[in-house]
Structure formats: C-alpha cells, structure tokens
Structure 1
Amino acid sequence: MAGPFLWKAAALVEKHRTGLLAVSCAGLFGANLFYHVFPEQTFKLWYQCWTKGQPAELSEKLRSLFHDVLGDVGVKSVNCYQPFAAFGFHPVSAGIPWLPAGSLVGIPANFNSTAEDRQGIVNRVVVINGKEVDWESKQGLALKEALMFSPEAQKFAIAREIVYLQSNSPAVYAAVPPACLAGTCLSGVAIKQLLGLYSGPRVFRGIYNITIAAIGLVGYFLAYDAVSHALDYRSDRKAATISKDYARGGVEFYDKILSRNRTLRALLGKQGEKIYAPSGNLFPRYWFRLKHAPYTSRRDLIFNILRVP
C-alpha cells in the first residue's frame, strides 16, 4: 500500500519542485535566522545569567567597558547593541543590528574579576564530574588564573562579538543551508537530465536520488564549517587590527582559553581527553567536522598581526 502512495508523492514533488524548493529554502533561512530576529525572546532567555532566582544585572564596570569597546570599534548606532549578564566564561552574541530588535552581547561574570578581586570567579560554584571545584587546589588555581582576563583581553573578546554582528555574520550563516539545498537540488536535476535517468528504471532514479542527497548533506557540513572558520578568522582579524592593545589582548584571550581547556581536560579525566586535545583545542564532535577554527590557529593569526610593524 505504501509503494503507490510514495510514487504519487514523488510525482507530485517532481511536478511542483520549483515552488517546493523556493518554499523550503525560505523556510530554512527563516528558521536559522529566527533567534537573531528575536534575540530578546529567544537567545537572551537561553544565555541569561541568574542569581537567587532573578536575572543577574550587568555591573556598571562592564557596561562602561562595553561602551568603550563600541567607541573603539567605531559603532555609530550604539543603541543597536545591548549588553547583558550571561552565564559561561566568554562573551556570546546574537541579533542583526539593523533590525528593530537590534543585537545582544552577553558578558560573563568572570569579566568582573581582577588580580586584586576575583569575586566574579571564586564566588561561583563550578561542578565538574559531580564534584565542586576547589579554587585553592592546584587545578583550581590554574582554572582561576585561566578565567581571569586583563582589560585588553576583555575588550578584544567583546570587540570580536560586536564585529561579528556588525558584519552580518548571522545572515551569512543562515544562508548556507538554503544555498546548499538549492545547489544540491538544481545540480541533481541537471545531472539526472544529462544522464537520461528520467526515462530509466525507477530503481536507478531512487539510488541516484539517495546518492545525491548524501553528497549534498556532506557538502553542507563542509560548507558550513568552512564559512564558520572564515567568519571566525574575519572577526578576530578585525578586532585585532583596532590597535596593538587589542591584538595583545587577543593573544592573551586565546592563550587563556587554551589554558582553561587543558585544565578542564585534566579535571574531566577520560571524558576530558575525548573533548579537549592536549594543546587545548576542541576535538571534532564528528570525524569530518570542525565547526569552529582551532584556538591555536586563531591565536597565531593575531600573533602574526601583532608582529607587523
């Protein structure tokens, strides 16, 4: 019973393939861009830091730092970028500045910490492998040091998020899935016509369609990762070229991330060895995917910028 229904469905798709492709591409683009269009109702709820059952407020120190970075980056419409207190250990961002909702940049509590006052770190409970981190232990001290950034490193980390948003990177990301879908479908149809498969056996067409779909999926993964790497490098480069201080802050920022990951690798034991490389880079979650550029190469990129007179 299912066989005739599937063939009728395939015939219907074949008949209206252009319209279905257009709707599918538009839907994919909208779905990937949704939380950037409504960051306040989606992204912020996910990343908001909470304390005592209430959303944490960003300190005046970090608000002032954020506005200093906006000025250094050269942002004219400062009201399009709003900071908030985020959980985690490094800044996050979402939104499209020129849309009504604007953009949000989440700044973590450890950015409040200084060499004299580390309350943004030691007053937080961090549980790893079911055990609370002892901040006075050897590994706790190493983690505490890795989570404390100089003002220059903090500025770089915030600046790269602002530059990322300013460059419309979310829209570029969102365009990758529909572009790959359209490319796969159009090239698949063209090759099918070239090989004369439309007049061939249904079994051959079915095998061909499955093969093209698999190739398209792999192509999407590779294209998405390539775009991700390019955008990472572009954001780092633009933030590091603001000034020498920003470049030095960028080198420190990635050095501290690598140090943090090496410490987490030790604290997590066997699980940490699967997540983090000895260098501090992240291992790919899947054998052929690396969603973000390695931290070592990003640090080296900024180091090379710093060496340019």
Structure 2
Amino acid sequence: MRRIVVVGSINMDLVTQAPRFPGPGETLLGERFVTVPGGKGANQAVAAARLGAEVALVGALGADAFGDQLHAGLLREGIVLDHVQRLADSASGTASITVAGGENQILVVPAANALLRPAQVERAAGAIGRADAVLVQMEIPLETVEATLRLGQRLGVPVILNPAPARPLPADWLRQVRYLTPNQHELATVLDADPDADFHALMQRAPCPVVLTRGAEGAWYRDQGHDRASHQAGFAVEAVDSTGAGDTFNGALAVFLGEGLPHAVRKACATAALSVTRLGAQGGMPRLHEVEALLGRQAG
C-alpha cells in the first residue's frame, strides 16, 4: 500500500449549478445548490485514499459546523487526521463555486487554512519520513509550502507541488520539487513568464520535472534526464463538472508514481476523466476498480 502525506487546504464547497455564468451586476436564477467537502488538500487526500493508498493529511479546520462536517467526512474516507488542527478562533475555509456548461468559477475564503504554519509541518515529520510521496498545493501560506519542500528534501521523500492558485516561485524552491504539476497558465505564472509562451518552451525552462495538465487533451510530462516532453492523451467522457479534476489527477499521480512516470500519468488522466462525469470535487472521485475498468475498456 502506497503511503501518501498531503499538506494543504480543507474547505466546504458551496456549489451552484447555473445555465451560464452571470455577468457583472447580473442576478441569475440557479438550477441547484449543494454543499460539498472540498479544498485542494482534502480533495487530493480523498482522491489518493479512494485509490487504495494510506493517506495522512496535514491541515487546519475551524471549530465550527463546517469543520465538524469536514472532519467527519475525512475520517469516513479512512484518512489519518492526527495532524489536522481544530482552531477555536477561526472559521473553516470555504469555496463558492458556480458550475455552468461543464466549467466552473471559484471564489475561495481561506480562513483556517491561512493559519497552517511551518511548525505544524515539522510536527508531521515522522509521517512524512515514512511516506512514498508528499503532495502540497498553494491554498496555504507560502512559508508552509516552502517548509514542506525543504522537509521533503531533507528526508529524501519526493514532493509533488501542485502550484494552484499560482504565484511566481523562486528557482531554489522549484529545484526541491520532484514533480511540478501545473496547467499552462499556472506554469507561466510560477516561472513569471509570458502566459502566451509555448508551453513546451516553458517546460524546458522549469528547473524541475514538469507534468503539465491540458484538460481534455490529457497531459504532457518531462522527467529528469529527458529533453523532450511526452504526451498522454485524455480519455473521452461526457463532462458534467470539472471541479476537482486537477486534484484528482494529482492524488492519482502520487498513488501510481511507483509504477513509473508514464504509467502514473496515464492512470492519473483516466482517474481525472472519470471525476468530471459527476457533480462535486470529491463527489466525482472514482474508486480504483472504476479506473481499472476504464483502462481495460481503452485497452480492449
């Protein structure tokens, strides 16, 4: 069983389905509203757990009703929460999500996630040292992201950095990353480059291996020691909600990385494709047998 540690955010997603996105100043009647557990850290933890990994999460929740619901839901997924703090003076993080035409718009209020400190990551060093891989994103303070990268480097554990929401990052940080997993916009932002630049050139410029997600097109990846990027085609599905597809991809990549990068990227693309066929970030995340069935049909 793969051991994965995720350092990241935990949110309650407030999801509204709409016929289209409203314009500035416009009031539009929605079609459905649901509350769904989310946050990039929690999402990636759930994705990995559903694929059979042993997962521990490092994060923070408020001492509120959303925090109670989120904590209980993560426990039901079998995720180890020894390093998830409950903060009495903070609300839990939320994300307001509008879904229209299979795409989404998201507004995040970090709340307790903004209080996840490097010291909490250090306290999880025992779990991180035993892990096969660590996942970290950027819905938490940058100092905590840096602490995770440096701890992974010190302990010899590969760290996958999903740079979302993206901000420019020092090259010194990126050199400590085993895999950087952006989309094209995120890669340009991280490198402080022209967003219209050719993504192949951006992948070459990055000082670490890159796995670049391209939505329905699939993913491009360049490992250490390889000059040219390889392509993994996407899997054709009927998209219902793309929320959480990137998180699903990252969780799957961490789980399957022991099989080698090409196999891991292929399985991650299949897992992400299945995730967009159902509503909600965690609600759409598939189990291992579903991924194997899709891969089996493709092979046939």
For Structure 1 versus Structure 2, the TM-score category normalised by the shorter chain is: under 0.3
Tell me the TM-score normalised to structure 1 length.
0.23
Largest Rg, 1 or 2: 1
Higher strand share: 2
Tell me the TM-score normalised to structure 2 length.
0.23
